[in-house]
């Protein structure tokens, strides 16, 4: 039978952190985890949307255990503050879903000077994971889920000499790079977990073509770019709902049979039930991951090393 939210095991007593929980896939991920009994930290940038999302979940799950924590992934200082707040409240974290992201926007910079898509989609999550690592390792068997996209197939590995694509920017080029970075990060983190002999696991998921506000924001940011409008229209007419699109990351986060290093996605690429998919693009994978780690630690000034068990 097809996996769905009814297959999520009891999450009572567990803590989950979901980035971008104020809408779309993040909201539906937070809703499903709360319904299963988890305490959910809704890490989000837009306070008004986060409050509305919390209200939506409570209307659906009156007994939901929720906490909103302000998080702007485009600011390393905001990431530091959010992580400090989460760690002050929770000695252990069982699930971290690195979900938030931007898609194919015009060239912009984060407050730290990073290319916006690489900065938000990858570097912000890299920094958050690094700062939450002590609590993740305190859990019995934590899971970190990185959310990528089919666009990772068109992405190129990060160039350490020009990770922010200065003079070479393209909206989809930058998006593909950031989504491939999510993919490489998930696999690289799992390899570090295994080398350290810890019980934590890192998995990767993609939602397929889902009708969320991601496409609408992309159209708004570009002033109605043709490709952005095409995908916005396609998602609206044939895309899966946000609730269905969230299933791959929920399965990666909660399925007892899922293992570290696995990839979950819709059965038919961009549509269908959530299933385990093969890891492709293995040629040069080790080198690409090593370069990504070098660039990420250099840019964030944070070391993400997993201490041996």
Confidence check: pLDDT of 253 > 60: yes
Cα Dmax for the chain: 51
How far from chain centre, in Å, is Cα 109?
Answer: 20
Residue percentage of the chain with pLDDT more than 70: 90
Other C-beta atoms lying within 10 Å of the C-beta of residue 285: 17
For residue 235, the model assigns a pLDDT of: 47
b (16+ CB within 10 A) / e for 118-157: bbbbbbbbbbbbbbbbebbbebeebbbbbbbbbbbeebeb
Per-residue pLDDT band for 309 (boundaries 50, 70, 90) equals confident
- The encoded tokens of residue 184 equal 């490489």
Residue with tokens 């809704």: 42
CA separation for the pair 93, 98 (Å, rounded): 13
- What are the residue numbers of the active site? 175
For residue 213, the model assigns a pLDDT of: 66
Domains along the chain with CATH numbers = 12-208+244-299 (3.40.50.720)
CA separation for the pair 229, 77 (Å, rounded): 34
CA separation for the pair 285, 143 (Å, rounded): 22
Q: Quick check: helix, strand or coil at residue 235?
A: helix
What mean pLDDT, rounded, does the chain reach?
93
Residue with tokens 């799992």: 190
Bridge partners, 66 (sequence order): 40
**Residues 16 and 38 sit within 8 Å (Cβ to Cβ):** yes
**Residues 219 and 225 sit within 8 Å (Cβ to Cβ):** yes
Confidence check: pLDDT of 187 > 90: yes
**Residues 60 and 33 sit within 8 Å (Cβ to Cβ):** no
**Residues 57 and 66 sit within 8 Å (Cβ to Cβ):** yes
- Identify which has the larger pLDDT, 16 or 279: 16
How far from chain centre, in Å, is Cα 264?
Answer: 13
Overall average pLDDT of the 15-40 stretch: 98
Q: State the DSSP H helix or E strand holding residue 17, giving kind and residue range, or none if neither.
A: strand 15-19
Name the DSSP letter for residue 188: H
């Amino acid at each position: 039978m097809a996996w769905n939210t009814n297959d999520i095991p009891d999450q009572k007593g567990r803590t989950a952190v979901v980035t971008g929980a104020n809408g779309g896939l993040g909201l539906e991920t937070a809703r499903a985890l709360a319904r299963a009994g988890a305490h959910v930290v809704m890490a989000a940038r837009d306070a008004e949307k986060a409050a509305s999302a919390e209200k939506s979940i409570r209307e659906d799950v009156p007994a939901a255990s929720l906490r909103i924590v302000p998080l702007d992934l485009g600011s390393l200082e905001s990431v530091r503050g959010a992580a400090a707040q989460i760690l002050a409240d929770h000695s252990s974290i069982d699930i971290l879903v690195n979900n938030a992201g931007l898609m194919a926007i015009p060239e912009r910079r984060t407050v730290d000077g990073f290319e916006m898509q690489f900065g938000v989609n990858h570097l912000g999550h890299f920094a958050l994971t690094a700062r939450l690592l002590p609590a993740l390792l305190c859990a019995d068997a934590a899971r970190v889920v990185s959310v990528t996209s089919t666009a990772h197939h068109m992405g190129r590995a990060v160039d350490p000499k020009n990770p922010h694509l200065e003079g070479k920017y393209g909206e989809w080029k930058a998006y593909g790079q950031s989504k491939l970075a999510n993919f490489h990060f998930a696999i690289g983190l799992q390899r570090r977990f295994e080398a350290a002999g810890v019980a934590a696991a890192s998995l990767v998921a993609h939602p397929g073509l889902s009708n969320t506000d991601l496409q609408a924001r992309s159209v708004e940011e570009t002033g109605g770019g043709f490709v952005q409008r095409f995908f916005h229209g396609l998602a609206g007419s044939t895309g899966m709902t946000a609730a269905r699109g969230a299933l791959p990351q929920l399965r990666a986060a909660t399925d007892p049979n899922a293992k570290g290093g696995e990839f979950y996605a819709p059965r038919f690429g961009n549509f269908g039930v959530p299933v385990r998919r093969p890891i492709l693009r293995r040629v040069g994978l080790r080198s690409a991951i090593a370069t990504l780690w070098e660039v990420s630690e250099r840019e964030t000034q944070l070391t993400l090393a997993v201490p041996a068990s």
